[in-house]
Amino acid sequence: MTPPAEREGYWYPPKAHGQPYAVDILNALREYRASETAMRRRTRNSMAMGETDLLALRYLLEAETAGQEVRPKELAARLGMTSASMTALVDRMATSGYITRQPHPSDRRAIILRPTRGADEEVRHTLGKMHGRMIEVAESLSDEEAKAVLHFLLHMREAVDEIDVDGE
């Protein structure tokens, strides 16, 4: 194994900021993201869904579990979609049997989107084994390791969220 201080990453110089494992950590994070992206692609293919459809279904399943009602406008905002694109997504997912449109209980002009029971079962079947394996890995960490990983990931998310692609 190459000593940490001598390794480089695609974008990173060796021994970034004096921490010998910094580049290794960032490379491992990039490799994890690539693996996760490939897994999500396999999941979408097995469910015959696009990325946005799968994100929408995941959000609707989470909202259902939390007892929250989701209108198309709220889902569009969450996914950064236009009204026309949301209409097409809802039509496609309803036709495929993943969601239903239900009348809003207090606003007769509005509808609520709900995942179907079949969608929930398919997602659980498709992703259950993978989520189980991920939980096993997370549960294998000591309290100290878990706190360090959590600290790292939260700070990495903050660092990425602060990036402005326009350079401002």
Query: What is the domain-level CATH number for residue 97?
Result: 1.10.10.10
Q: What is the mean pLDDT of the chain?
A: 85
Six-digit token string for 68:
């929250």
Domain containing 103: what range?
A: 48-115
Give pLDDT, residue 16.
Answer: 52
Position 27 in a domain = no
Position 64 in a domain = yes
Q: Which residues of 5-21 are buried (b: 16+ CB within 10 A; e: fewer)?
A: eebebeebeebbeeeee
Total tally of structural domains belonging to the chain = 1
Angle CA 44–47–51, to nearest 5: 30
How far is 140 from 154, CA to CA, in rounded Å?
20
Contacts of 82 (CB under 8 A, 6+ apart): 76
Position 80 in a domain = yes
Q: How far from chain centre, in Å, is Cα 4?
A: 31
Give pLDDT, residue 17.
Answer: 59
Could you read off the pLDDT of 103-148 as tens digits, one per residue? 988 888 889 999 998 888 888 887 788 889 999 999 999 999 999 9
Position 105 in a domain = yes
150/16: higher pLDDT: 150
Give pLDDT, residue 2.
Answer: 53
Q: Whose structure tokens read 């990931």? A: 153
Q: Looking at the predicted structure, is the pLDDT value of residue 69 above 80? A: yes
Q: SS3 for 103?
A: strand
Q: Looking at the predicted structure, is the pLDDT value of residue 3 above 60? A: no
Position 21 in a domain = no
Give pLDDT, residue 158.
Answer: 93
Position 7 in a domain = no
Give pLDDT, residue 85.
Answer: 93
Give pLDDT, residue 5.
Answer: 47
Give pLDDT, residue 93.
Answer: 92
Position 136 in a domain = no
How far is 67 from 17, CA to CA, in rounded Å?
46
In the chain, how many H helices and how many E strands? Answer: 6, 2
